[in-house]
Amino acid sequence: MEKIAVFPGSFDPFTSGHLDVIHSALKLFDKIIIAVGVNQQKISLFSPKARVEMIREAVKDLHSVEVCSYTGLTIDFCRSKDIRFIFRGIRTTTDFELEQVIAQVNSKMAPEIQTIFIPSGPKYSFISSTVVRDVLLNGGDAGCMVPPGLDLNKYLKM
């Protein structure tokens, strides 16, 4: 049986840290679905369409990775696709504490779905989407924090 996992997030924008976690997850799972969560109440820098397209660009050489968007609860998305695993990237203890609460709530509502935490490599632990957005909004070059060749300015216009 093929082991499929969902990597949910807002990915606003997608970073080198996200890609690092995906590479680690591919050692555990046969297929990964990167699920871009669309939250109408959250103000994003990049549109949902732009986020999906930028991630597709960043993972184009990873054949067992697919990218889509969804609304609603992550566990409902997983159930709709009959997926039993969610993985989340962890950079810091703060990430762990937040993700642990979410995983516990998900486990209570959907005990059949297991959440797995995958730490990012140390060289990516300082990178967050928030920091990348801040650099971009202040005219800086965020190229060192996103996958090689990913031009975020291209996606700002989408």
What percent of the chain lies above the pLDDT cut of 70?
A: 99
Q: Is the dihedral of CA 69, 71, 130, 28 positive or negative?
A: negative
pLDDT digits (tens, 9 = 90+) for 121-130: 999 999 999 9
Contact in structure between 34 and 22 (CB atoms under 8 Å): yes
* Domains in the chain: ranges and CATH: 4-152 (3.40.50.620)
What confidence tier does 17 reach under pLDDT thresholds 50, 70, 90? very high
Q: What is the pLDDT of residue 65?
A: 98
88 pLDDT tier (thresholds 50, 70, 90): very high
> Does 97 score more than 80 pLDDT?
yes
Residue 157: is its pLDDT beyond 80? no
Contact call for residues 54 and 13 (beta carbons, < 8 A): yes
pLDDT of 35-78, one tens digit each? 999 987 788 999 999 999 999 999 999 999 999 999 999 999 99
pLDDT digits (tens, 9 = 90+) for 99-113: 999 999 999 999 999
Angle CA 46–50–53, to nearest 5: 145
pLDDT recorded at residue 39: 83
Cα(40)–Cα(47) distance, rounded to whole angstroms?
A: 11
Band the pLDDT of 131: cuts 50, 70, 90.
very high
Residue 92: pLDDT over 80: yes
